[in-house]
């Protein structure tokens, strides 16, 4: 089955993971989707990913999910949009994947169900999923053991890439994960693995070194994607110290955002304070921020603003 040349194989830079903005009453806030999409483009993003874990995808019903994907895609224009289509069964995965591609998505992203353990189970699942959605649809592997409890060795990632021509990218958020990037790029250099794009998640916590190991950039939800863009640009230009200098300035806040569960609340709050989305509402079940947590974030923003003026331009 012929696969169109998928330019995502060579993607570099930053694909922010977009949260799904809600109104305080829980309805989807489409105006904020538009504003956020514009913001990602203006700050130098190379694409974006929607309906991921951060996007509260499991809390949407099927019709909403597709409507949200369509809105992002339409607004994004020429920027490629990757749509998370992970689902417990292949029926729902296929219908969302195909509808997303028809709407203009660049690729879909698939996370493994948390029941998978062995190499054969993991590779077999991706083989079945690729068949189920259709082998002409480019897909991204989401490798996120902390959240999904599925551990993929480098060898399994190679197997998935090799067995599925439609696999175009690895969203890498193993932890620790630096050696995995090195192993994959070494195999590629040796000729035993074809090239795919590697974009890193985990809130960007190791982005400074991940790019040095061979990653192409970031795919994560840190509320300052404009900083991620600059770090990746420095890194790909070989400006090591400059990349680290900027990264280190943001690390205290970035680390605070990277807390499991409550992290999404922090991100939505900061994006609201930056004027990117109108409300930090999450749908239930959700981990909320306490008043103390909010004041801690404000303190971190104030400290950050002294060294990165972008953190000083807040609203509300």
Nearer to its own copies, 107 or 178 (CB): 178
Q: What angle do CA 201, 17, 233 make, to 5 degrees?
A: 65
Residue with tokens 């951060």: 54
Full 3-state SS string of 25-77: CCCECHHHHHHHHHHHHHCCCCCEEECCCCCCHHHCCHHHHHHHHHHHHHHHC
DSSP for residue 312: G
Full 3-state SS string of 80-114: CEEEECCCCCHHHHHHHHHHHHHCCCCEEEECCCC
Interaction of residue 111 with its own copies, rule CB under 8 A: no
Which two structure tokens, joined as six digits, stand for 287? 């981990």
Mask 1-40, x = binds its own copies (CB under 8 A)? Answer: ----------------------------------------
Taking the complex as a whole, how short is the minimal distance between the CB of residue 108 and its own copies, in angstroms? 16
Footprint of its own copies on 91-110 (CB under 8 A)? 91-92, 95
SS3 153: coil
Residue selected from 24, 62, 77, 275 as contacting its own copies according to rule CB under 8 A: 62
Residue selected from 10, 31, 102, 120 as contacting its own copies according to rule CB under 8 A: 120
Contact between 60 and 91 under an 8 Å Cβ cutoff? The reply is no
Taking the complex as a whole, how short is the minimal distance between the CB of residue 11 and its own copies, in angstroms? 24
DSSP strand E in the chain: where?
A: 13-14, 48-50, 81-84, 107-110, 139-143, 167-172, 197-200, 217-218
Count of positions on this chain that bind its own copies (CB under 8 A): 62
Interaction of residue 305 with its own copies, rule CB under 8 A: no
Taking the complex as a whole, how short is the minimal distance between the CB of residue 250 and its own copies, in angstroms? 10
Nearer to its own copies, 206 or 222 (CB): 206
Nearer to its own copies, 38 or 298 (CB): 298
Question: Does the bond joining 285 to the residue before it have cis omega, within 30 degrees of 0?
Answer: yes
Give the binding range for its own copies (CB under 8 A) out of 11-19, 34-42, 220-228, 278-286: 278-286
Nearer to its own copies, 9 or 98 (CB): 98
Interaction of residue 238 with its own copies, rule CB under 8 A: no
Taking the complex as a whole, how short is the minimal distance between the CB of residue 73 and its own copies, in angstroms? 21
Q: What angle do CA 58, 177, 237 make, to 5 degrees?
A: 105
Residue selected from 90, 103, 188, 310 as contacting its own copies according to rule CB under 8 A: 90
Which two structure tokens, joined as six digits, stand for 53? 């874990």
Taking the complex as a whole, how short is the minimal distance between the CB of residue 8 and its own copies, in angstroms? 25
Footprint of its own copies on 191-220 (CB under 8 A)? 205-206, 208-209, 212-213
Burial of 34 (0-12, 13-18, 19+ CB in 10 A): middle
Which two structure tokens, joined as six digits, stand for 85? 């289509």
Interaction of residue 148 with its own copies, rule CB under 8 A: no
Q: Which residues bind its own copies (CB under 8 A)?
A: 56, 58-64, 87-92, 95, 114, 117-121, 124-125, 128, 132, 145, 151-153, 155-156, 175-176, 178-179, 182, 205-206, 208-209, 212-213, 244, 247-248, 251-252, 255-256, 259-263, 283-285, 290, 292-293, 296, 303
């Amino acid at each position: 089955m012929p696969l169109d040349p998928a330019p995502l194989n060579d993607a570099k830079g930053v694909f922010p993971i977009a949260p799904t903005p809600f109104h305080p009453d829980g309805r989807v806030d489409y105006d904020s989707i538009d504003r956020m999409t514009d913001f990602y483009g203006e700050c130098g993003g190379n694409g974006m990913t929607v309906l991921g874990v951060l996007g509260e995808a499991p809390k949407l019903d099927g019709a909403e999910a597709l409507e949200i994907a369509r809105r992002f895609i339409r607004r994004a224009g020429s920027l490629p949009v990757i749509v998370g289509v992970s689902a417990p069964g292949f029926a729902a995965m296929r219908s969302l994947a195909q509808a997303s591609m028809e709407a203009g998505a660049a690729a879909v992203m698939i996370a493994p169900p948390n029941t998978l353990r062995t190499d054969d189970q993991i590779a077999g699942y991706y083989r079945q999923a690729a068949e189920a959605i259709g082998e002409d649809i480019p897909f991204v592997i989401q490798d996120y053991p902390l959240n999904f409890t599925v551990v993929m060795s480098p060898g399994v990632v190679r197997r998935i890439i090799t067995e599925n021509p439609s696999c175009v990218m690895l969203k890498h958020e193993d932890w620790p994960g630096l050696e995995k990037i090195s192993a994959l790029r070494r195999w590629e250099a040796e000729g035993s693995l074809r090239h795919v794009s590697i974009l890193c998640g985990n809130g960007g916590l190791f982005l400074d070194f991940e790019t040095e190991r061979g990653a192409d950039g970031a795919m994560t939800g840190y509320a300052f994607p404009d900083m991620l863009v600059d770090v990746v640009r420095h890194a790909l230009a070989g400006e090591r110290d400059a990349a680290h200098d900027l990264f280190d300035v943001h690390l205290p806040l970035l680390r605070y955002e990277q807390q499991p569960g409550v992290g999404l609340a922090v991100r939505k709050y900061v994006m609201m304070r930056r004027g990117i989305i109108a409300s930090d509402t999450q749908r239930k079940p959700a981990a909320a921020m306490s008043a103390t947590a909010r004041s801690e974030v404000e303190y971190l923003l104030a400290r950050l603003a002294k060294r990165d003026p972008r953190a000083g331009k807040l609203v509300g």
